[in-house]
Chain A
């Protein structure tokens, strides 16, 4: 039994180090002097620290355009998705099971389509419509992958709101829209909040549509891609850390809502 405990402890430490190290190296590079990194034998611990990479992206103001674009796109994507998904998923949740089920399943499968297949015609069309490189264009593209996810979360939420409450409200003379606004939406608020946060996050870290639809006005994930292609490890690591910070915070705050199904099709290589 004791041997087993020791074996277990070693495994825990091994996997712990394995999971943390890539993130640790990223942060380390973003605060390291070049002599610690670009040598035959890079160091594992943090020796010569510097804030110059972080200072550089902020002092040249280079960070602000991508940061603001990412923020705008993520926020608008979350809001627009909500505006379409809240009424849509409420209606779906009130359909008979026989209709509801294929609908939800179909939405779920649209998330599994190859994104390069959707991004290609979208990009071709957006060139014609002048939406390339624009915030609106990217918001529409991000909604392609985020709307089904939000709808799916919200259908589950609205299903938990008892129909009896709606009937009571309509007997008391409330219109259907009034019932929706005064009874159903307040009761579904926690689920709506979870959906909004996942929508925001999904857009913030999105890369594929962004790379198809952007020429010059890059978002934060594209900024990481840009610098790694130029071979600048320090700015890559700095932008990568900056992009990851909100995602890490939100993921841990939302831990109990992380169900395998939500993540299906959301985490990909």
Chain B
């Protein structure tokens, strides 16, 4: 920095002294307790599995050969992919229902928002009641006559994953619905009228007016939800525990149960990279203007 620009810099500081003092506690907190720990976790991930030897890839090579980690990676991607698609479909159906006028619409909207008022750990325990072998889902299937013997939802690969997907859907579909509803409300009603006059049916109006105009909202819902789905933690932890590890619960088990902060840090760093990729995709797709609205 040349002398001229440095003195300019100083002048700016003294001119904005008041602002800087106001912002300082916030900046210190974010650097001390968010950016700092993230960097610390990344540094820890480059230590050996028993600490020391910085920098080394020992912790990474340990976890990528750990079958448990491979399961966690697969499960996270499965839950994200399947969950996201289903949440988008159901969120769209719900948003379309709510954009109609019908008797009891206000109550229906209130009911749909109920999951937003339920802490995730609570919804996890509720889903555990439903998907238990003696749970309510098995009883329902039995009464309808679909099954004779109760299904054990915890065995197999896909079954426990699907229970987690359903649990996640229950909790977050209302959020997707809210985003898409905001999009539907932004569409000019005259477009539909015009299409109707031209003889377009319900499906054609949806396919050629609603869907294209909703695209930015769909992208926003997909990426915001995608990042959250990568970080899924409480639901798999409570509903399946060690049987179905995901990235977050893998990092948790490595630290809390196996007492190994370094492999846990490596797992968390890989998760961080996945999220950074998702954020970049988001910024590219939506553009920075949309984010803070």
Interface residues of A (CB under 8 A from B): 5, 8-9, 11-12, 15-16, 18-23, 25-26, 29, 38-42, 44, 83-85, 87-92, 94-95, 101, 104-105, 107-110, 112-118, 120-125, 140-141, 143-144, 147-148, 151-152, 156, 176-177, 204-205, 207-208, 211-212, 221, 224-225, 228, 233, 236-237, 240, 243-244, 247-252, 255, 258-261, 263-265, 267-269
What separation, in Å, do the CA atoms of A42 and B138 have in the docked complex? 9
What separation, in Å, do the CA atoms of A93 and B182 have in the docked complex? 26
Q: Nearest 7 pairs between A and B by C-beta?
A: A88-B26, A117-B268, A251-B117, A205-B119, A269-B232, A87-B22, A248-B117
A-B contact pairs, 29 of them (CB 8 A): A5-B102, A12-B108, A21-B136, A22-B126, A23-B126, A39-B134, A41-B139, A109-B279, A115-B231, A116-B271, A117-B251, A117-B269, A117-B271, A120-B261, A141-B33, A152-B292, A205-B120, A208-B248, A221-B122, A240-B126, A252-B110, A252-B117, A258-B178, A263-B175, A263-B178, A268-B233, A269-B171, A269-B228, A269-B236
A240: shortest Cβ distance to chain B, in Å? 4
Interface residues of B (CB under 8 A from A): 18-23, 25-27, 29-30, 33-38, 40-41, 44, 79, 93-94, 97, 100, 102, 104, 108, 110-130, 134-136, 139-140, 142, 150, 164, 167-168, 170-172, 174-175, 178-179, 182, 220-221, 224, 227-236, 238, 247-248, 251-252, 255-256, 261, 264-265, 267-269, 271-272, 275, 279, 288, 291-293
Chain A residue at minimum C-beta to C-beta distance from B132: A233
B209: shortest Cβ distance to chain A, in Å? 18
Chain B residue at minimum C-beta to C-beta distance from A18: B170
- Determine whether the beta carbon of A91 is less than 8 Å from that of B19: yes
Chain B residues closer than 8 Å to A258, beta-carbon distance? 113, 116, 178
Most chain A CB within a 10 A radius of its CB, from B30, B121, B127, B167: B121
- Determine whether the beta carbon of B264 is less than 8 Å from that of A84: no
Chain B residue at minimum C-beta to C-beta distance from A155: B292
Tell whether A255 pairs with B113 under 8 Å between CB atoms, given A87-B23, A117-B251, A269-B233.
yes
- Determine whether the beta carbon of B271 is less than 8 Å from that of A8: no
B222: shortest Cβ distance to chain A, in Å? 12
- Determine whether the beta carbon of B142 is less than 8 Å from that of A87: no
What separation, in Å, do the CA atoms of A92 and B16 have in the docked complex? 12
- Determine whether the beta carbon of B265 is less than 8 Å from that of A117: yes
- Determine whether the beta carbon of A104 is less than 8 Å from that of B272: no
Chain A residues closer than 8 Å to B256, beta-carbon distance? 211-212
Chain B residue at minimum C-beta to C-beta distance from A116: B251
Chain B residue at minimum C-beta to C-beta distance from A114: B271
- Determine whether the beta carbon of B224 is less than 8 Å from that of A264: yes
Tell whether A110 pairs with B30 under 8 Å between CB atoms, given A87-B25, A116-B268.
yes
- Determine whether the beta carbon of A26 is less than 8 Å from that of B255: no
What separation, in Å, do the CA atoms of A240 and B238 have in the docked complex? 13
B105: shortest Cβ distance to chain A, in Å? 9
What separation, in Å, do the CA atoms of A252 and B106 have in the docked complex? 12
Chain A residues closer than 8 Å to B272, beta-carbon distance? 113-114, 117
Chain A residues closer than 8 Å to B164, beta-carbon distance? 269
Chain B residues closer than 8 Å to A23, beta-carbon distance? 114, 118, 126
- Determine whether the beta carbon of A44 is less than 8 Å from that of B139: yes
What separation, in Å, do the CA atoms of A237 and B108 have in the docked complex? 25
What separation, in Å, do the CA atoms of A8 and B251 have in the docked complex? 44
Chain B residues closer than 8 Å to A15, beta-carbon distance? 94, 97, 108, 112
Tell whether A22 pairs with B170 under 8 Å between CB atoms, given A113-B38, A117-B272.
yes
Chain B residues closer than 8 Å to A251, beta-carbon distance? 113, 116-117
- Determine whether the beta carbon of B130 is less than 8 Å from that of A268: no
Chain B residues closer than 8 Å to A125, beta-carbon distance? 37, 40
Tell whether A25 pairs with B136 under 8 Å between CB atoms, given A118-B37, A124-B261, A269-B228.
yes
- Determine whether the beta carbon of B29 is less than 8 Å from that of A236: no
What separation, in Å, do the CA atoms of A83 and B26 have in the docked complex? 9
